[in-house]
Chain A
């Protein structure tokens, strides 16, 4: 048997916060994507923890769907990054200022 679920929930909260800070602070689109992955992983850890606490398989099924959505999101996002790099030769979010007034 493992530790009480609260430890896992606290760890997941910390990882989620680190990912959110990275998303706000960093300027490289690739690293911003990685921070989104961090936040999704924290959510997955929470799902699995609640699944164990309630002895309900539904949480683990949701983790499955989160994995699929994360994969699809990364595929499309990196496609956009590559397309954008061809036009502007940059992966910095600050350089995408074409709509600036």
Chain B
């Protein structure tokens, strides 16, 4: 499948190739930076590089809304959360990445990586699982009615499907987010100290 697709005559222009090559370089540099940098702050900044590259590829594939969401949620929230925790804990020091306590784990990891990559590529080359029905859920661009009353386009189509086909999953993610927030609050609050009577008054003493 893969080589057929690679050789298939697409309407890609030279700017498309340049954009893909540049973002691929940025993505791979960032990914390798995450894995190899000894300082967690540098790793987080490399992760931002990768996320921006992926966002560019989203735009290249006409997923503009998801590119914006990718920047806002990943680079704007998740990486900032990472950086906040790194600075908050004060672990922004370089660690020793050369020592390996488990003997033979790194070679095994590389073997595993080779197997993973090889099987992914082999699956892409040999398998024919992209021959299913097209447009099971709906087209990307919506109907070609560009009037104001019925907007066409990717965000409109995405929103329509989110609130119809995927309504249950959407509500489930809402519940998941609430559970995550409550869990984070419970985890992050300090446990009641054992020697509370010596240091600060407990709740029962305050209310008494």
Give A contacts to B, CB under 8 Å. 1-11, 13-22, 24-28, 30-31, 33-35, 37-38, 41, 44-45, 48-58, 60-61, 63-65, 67-76, 78-83, 85-86, 91-92, 94
With A25-B106, A57-B161 in contact, is A7–B6 under 8 Å at CB? yes
Interface residues of B (CB under 8 A from A): 1-3, 5-6, 8, 10-13, 16-17, 20, 24, 27-28, 31-32, 34-35, 40, 43-44, 47, 50-51, 54, 57-58, 60-63, 65-66, 69-70, 73-74, 77-78, 81-82, 85-86, 88-89, 91, 95, 97, 101, 105-106, 108-110, 112-113, 116-117, 120-121, 124, 130, 132, 134-140, 154, 157-158, 161-162, 165-166, 169, 173, 176-177, 179-181, 183-184, 187-188, 190
Cβ contacts under 8 Å, A30 to chain B? 40, 43, 82, 85-86, 91
- Contact between B50 and A16 (Cβ–Cβ < 8 Å)? no
Binding site secondary structure of chain A: helix
- 3 shortest A-B CB distances, which residue pairs? A58-B137, A79-B187, A22-B35
What are 17 A-B contacts with C-beta separation under 8 Å?
A6-B2, A6-B5, A7-B20, A19-B31, A27-B101, A28-B95, A48-B61, A51-B63, A55-B134, A56-B138, A57-B161, A64-B69, A64-B158, A68-B173, A68-B177, A75-B181, A82-B187
| Nearest B residue (CB) for A50 | B130
Q: Is the CB of B137 within 8 A of A57?
A: yes
Report whether B63 and A82 are in contact in the complex, using a CB–CB cutoff of 8 Å.
Answer: no
Q: Cα distance A56–B20 when bound, in Å?
A: 22
Q: How far is the CB of B89 from chain A (nearest CB, A)?
A: 5
User: Which chain A residues lie closer than 8 Å to B5 at the CB level?
Assistant: 4-6
B58 touches A55 (CB 8 A): no
CA distance A45 to B120 in the complex (A): 14
